[in-house]
């Protein structure tokens, strides 16, 4: 009997020793928790007894469900620049997360131009030694499989699961942690932290070449009729995917498609499920998004708008915030006559139309910052980050910051002349003191001809063309590659537009 009692006791001790408290991947030491919002802390436990979560003077309770999952809510907190410990206690077990700040948290995502590392940029190589900043925290999610044009190996396929695809932990900004992270994300977050004077956390999760559909939640794909062709193992046949995406995917997994297992980073839903879903409980401040190169092979405005709308609305739903700030980098210029780049003006237009239609979506004009050659990766990202952060400061935080270039407000035709009125036109001028370039006029035949442009202060430009006696439509910078010279007093470029854009509503 005594032996049986000892056996039961030892088994109980072993059971207690095996008990484990875990927090979900979004949470870790050195992170930033969002200020001013109720913040959920989530995790799992092998025990079913209540847990106590303590942080910032609060102690809240959580009880694991039948699967061991638990959630506790911290009441809204003020920004706090001093690192604190978050403790989770369950019986005799304690788990601690150290050095946690409270402030603003932004998520950066997209494809290769978002993924472009700080140590790959000219300015980054100069700025990395000064990257130490205790008030800036970085979570750099690193993909374990990429999409170079060669067949995957078995070791690649093993990592193509939501649990294994991305790795990374929160870190204090330093030369070591900043260098391999996204340059766009780093510069945006750095500028926000310096301007807001509160801690800022930036979560970076992107992948080169990725199309929008890979970033759709699986629930959205499975429930939205317009996305039916993206479901299941026949996704590579979908007309919603660009030819380039299909080609690259087949290069990687073509030999596996016949076996009915075409898993790939570009598979619709995969990147959201792997890299974004784990953060949807966090009440983040907003999203910065640099993507589109892999979707801009279509002139179908209706399709482009559907995809962009789906992306934004599905993330709003997943993050439980219908006004989630979504700040997009508009595709820049590129000096490439390949067919894959031919529809960039249409994609830029779709991006701007989404921003015009939704009051929480913003489009950052970078048409002057792209490559003067065929490089799809303009290496310098400093100004992109500056424009993103200024757009956020102005529109989200209501701070005064130069963020918008001249944009068309009104158009009037008088005889053979067209009068254009612009918003954000204070200081309207050209960078080279010559006449504004890139304006074109079309008559009833729809044939566009170059137009002579004259600035009439403060916000008017007059257009005329000897080749078009009866103007009907106007467009500006409507090309894949342009060398614009029209700016406002803040040296921000004018926005591309065309007056005969197809209606999308």
| pLDDT (tens digit per residue) in 39-91 | 999 999 999 999 999 999 999 999 999 999 999 999 999 999 999 999 999 99
Contact 381, 183 (CB under 8 A): yes
Instruction: Report residue 137 as tokens.
Output: 């925290």
Q: How many CA atoms does the CB half-sphere of 162 hold within 13 Å?
A: 17
pLDDT of residue 12: 46
Instruction: Report residue 371 as tokens.
Output: 């490559």
Taking the C-alpha atoms of residue 218 and residue 145, their distance in angstroms, rounded to an integer, is 20
The full DSSP string for 250-319 is HHHHHHHHTTT----TTSTTHHIIIIIGGGTTS--SEEEEE--TTTTT---HHHHHHHHHHHHHHHHHHT
Instruction: Report residue 162 as tokens.
Output: 């939501």
Residues 6+ away with beta carbon under 8 Å from 300 = none
For the beta carbon of residue 75, count every other beta carbon within 10 angstroms: 11
Q: For each of the domains in the chain, give its residue range(s) and CATH number, in order of start.
A: 2-101 (2.60.40.10), 103-395 (3.40.50.1110), 407-498 (no CATH)
pLDDT of residue 400: 95
For the beta carbon of residue 454, count every other beta carbon within 10 angstroms: 12
pLDDT of residue 1: 45
Taking the C-alpha atoms of residue 135 and residue 197, their distance in angstroms, rounded to an integer, is 9
Taking the C-alpha atoms of residue 36 and residue 29, their distance in angstroms, rounded to an integer, is 20
Q: How many CA atoms does the CB half-sphere of 48 hold within 13 Å?
A: 3
pLDDT of residue 19: 60
Helix (H, G, I), strand (E, B) or coil at 99: strand
Contact 354, 319 (CB under 8 A): no
pLDDT of residue 67: 94
Instruction: Report residue 23 as tokens.
Output: 């927090």
Q: Residue 496, class by beta-carbon neighbours within 10 Å (0-12 exposed, 13-18 middle, 19+ buried)?
A: buried
Taking the C-alpha atoms of residue 380 and residue 124, their distance in angstroms, rounded to an integer, is 8
- What distances in angstroms separate CA 137 from CA 43, 111, 158, 202, 302, one per listed residue? 22, 22, 30, 6, 39
What are the b/e assignments for 278-317, b being 16+ CB within 10 Å? bbbbbbbbbbbbbbbbbbbbbebbeebbbbbbbbbbbbbe
Q: Which residue(s) pair with 93 in the sheet? A: 90
- What distances in angstroms separate CA 496 from CA 300, 306, 335, 352, one per listed residue? 18, 21, 16, 9
Taking the C-alpha atoms of residue 53 and residue 61, their distance in angstroms, rounded to an integer, is 6
- What distances in angstroms separate CA 55 from CA 52, 146, 230, one per listed residue? 10, 39, 43
Phi, then psi, of 501 in degrees rounded to 5: -65, 140
Phi, then psi, of 26 in degrees rounded to 5: -70, -20
Instruction: Report residue 422 as tokens.
Output: 């612009």
Taking the C-alpha atoms of residue 486 and residue 89, their distance in angstroms, rounded to an integer, is 61
Instruction: Report residue 462 as tokens.
Output: 């007059």
pLDDT of residue 56: 96
- What distances in angstroms separate CA 164 from CA 91, 275, 343, one per listed residue? 31, 10, 35
Taking the C-alpha atoms of residue 33 and residue 102, their distance in angstroms, rounded to an integer, is 5
Taking the C-alpha atoms of residue 258 and residue 254, their distance in angstroms, rounded to an integer, is 8
Low-confidence ranges of the chain (pLDDT < 50): 1-18
User: Taking Cα atoms as reference points, which of 165, 163, 153, 160 lies closest to residue 263?
Assistant: 160
Contact 73, 39 (CB under 8 A): yes
Contact 210, 265 (CB under 8 A): yes
For the full predicted model, state whether its pTM sits above 0.85. yes
Instruction: Report residue 96 as tokens.
Output: 């601690």
């Amino acid at each position: 009997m005594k032996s049986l009692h000892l056996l039961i006791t030892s088994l109980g001790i072993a059971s207690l020793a095996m008990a484990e408290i875990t927090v979900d991947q979004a949470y870790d030491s050195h992170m930033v928790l969002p200020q001013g919002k109720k913040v959920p802390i989530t995790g799992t436990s092998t025990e079913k007894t209540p847990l106590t979560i303590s942080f910032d003077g609060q102690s809240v309770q959580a009880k694991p469900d039948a699967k061991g999952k638990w959630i506790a809510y911290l009441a809204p907190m003020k920004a706090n620049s001093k690192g604190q410990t978050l403790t989770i206690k369950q019986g005799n077990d304690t788990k601690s997360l150290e050095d946690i700040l409270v402030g603003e948290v932004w998520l950066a995502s997209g494809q290769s131009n978002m993924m472009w590392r700080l140590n790959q940029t000219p300015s980054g190589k100069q700025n990395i030694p000064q990257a130490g900043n205790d008030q800036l925290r970085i979570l750099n999610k690193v993909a374990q499989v990429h999409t170079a044009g060669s067949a995957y190996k078995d070791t690649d396929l093993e990592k193509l699961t939501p649990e294994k695809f991305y790795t990374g932990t929160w870190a204090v900004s330093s030369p070591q942690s900043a260098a391999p992270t996204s340059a766009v994300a780093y510069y945006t977050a750095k500028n926000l932290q310096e301007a807001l004077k509160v801690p800022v956390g930036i979560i970076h999760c992107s992948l080169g070449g990725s199309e929008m559909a890979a970033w759709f939640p699986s629930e959205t794909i499975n429930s939205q009729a317009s996305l039916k062709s993206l479901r299941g193992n026949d996704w590579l046949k979908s007309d919603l995917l660009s030819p380039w995406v299909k080609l690259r995917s087949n290069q990687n997994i073509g030999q596996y498609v016949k076996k009915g297992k075409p898993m790939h980073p570009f598979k619709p839903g995969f990147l959201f499920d792997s890299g974004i879903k784990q953060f949807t409980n966090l009440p983040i401040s907003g999203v910065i998004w640099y993507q589109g190169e892999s979707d801009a092979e279509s002139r179908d405005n209706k399709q482009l708008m559907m995809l962009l709308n789906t992306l934004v609305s599905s993330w709003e739903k997943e993050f439980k915030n219908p006004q989630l700030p979504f700040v997009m980098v508009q595709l820049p210029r590129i000096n490439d006559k390949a067919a894959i780049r031919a529809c960039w003006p249409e994609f830029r237009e779709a991006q701007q139309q989404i921003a015009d239609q939704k009051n929480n979506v913003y489009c950052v004009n970078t048409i002057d910052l792209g490559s003067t050659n065929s490089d799809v990766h303009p290496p310098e990202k400093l100004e992109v980050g500056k424009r993103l952060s200024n757009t956020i400061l102005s529109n989200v935080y209501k701070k005064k910051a130069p963020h918008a270039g001249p944009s068309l407000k009104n158009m009037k035709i008088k005889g053979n002349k067209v009068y254009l009125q612009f918003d954000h036109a204070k200081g309207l001028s050209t960078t080279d003191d010559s006449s504004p370039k890139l304006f074109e006029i079309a008559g009833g035949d729809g044939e566009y001809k170059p137009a002579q442009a004259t600035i009439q202060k403060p916000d008017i430009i007059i257009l005329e063309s000897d080749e078009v006696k009866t103007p009907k439509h106007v467009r500006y910078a409507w090309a894949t590659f342009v060398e614009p010279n029209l700016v406002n007093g803040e040296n921000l470029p004018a926005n591309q537009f065309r007056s005969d854009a197809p209606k999308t509503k």
